[in-house]
Amino acid sequence: MPHQHFLIHKPYGYLSQFVGEAKKKKLGEFHDFPAGIMAIGRLDEDSEGLLLLTTDGRMSELVRSCHFEKEYYCQVDGLITDAAIAQLQAGVEIGIHGVKYQTTPCAAHRLDPAPTFAPRTRKIRDDRHGPTSWVSITLTEGKFRQIRKMTAAVGFPTLRLMRVRVGGIWLGDLAPGAVIEVEGFGVE
């Protein structure tokens, strides 16, 4: 039987998995996926956006080994400064499971105007708590909650995190929870 590949717009509040804790929301709620489906990489429960799925373990390993760029749009607390963006670009020290880690240099820039995404199922916060801004961060690595730790390290905690691109594959206007079957991910 041929392998199948999918793109999904993972909504806020869902795990990037198909089995696990009974009380948690999982990706299988959005589509009747084939047996053996797996996520290539992960987005934490609080993050949203593009997730690649496949039934082919070799394809999963190939995509991960290519170190595809992953681009994220982050809504941060406050008006992010040029100095903070420069720090993100140069790499910052974060903690990963209690160990200090220096992130590799990355691409980062302010997004102005702010991107327009569908409203999140849970409100982020009230305007009375001050301004927010958006920044694009593009990585080739992927440590545990890395983007959130990076923006916090430069003084601008992440309020909303959306993965918009993996390699040459874009989220585009795919609606939250929408699934598209694709021929592959361009790495065959």
Residue numbers annotated as active site: 44
- Half-sphere exposure (Cβ direction) of 147: Cα atoms closer than 13 Å: 29
**Rounded to whole angstroms, how far apart are CA atoms 100 and 84?**
19
Which of 176, 39, 178, 44 is CA-nearest to residue 120? Answer: 176
CB proximity list for 73: less than 8 A, separation 6 or greater: 111, 115, 134, 135, 136, 161, 162, 164
Cα separation, 167 vs 41, in Å, equals 13
CA dist 75 and 187 (Å) reads 31
Which token pair is 53? 């799925």
Residue type, 47: S
Q: Which residues contact 170 (CB under 8 A, 6 or more apart)?
A: 50, 164
How many residues are listed for the chain in this entry?
188
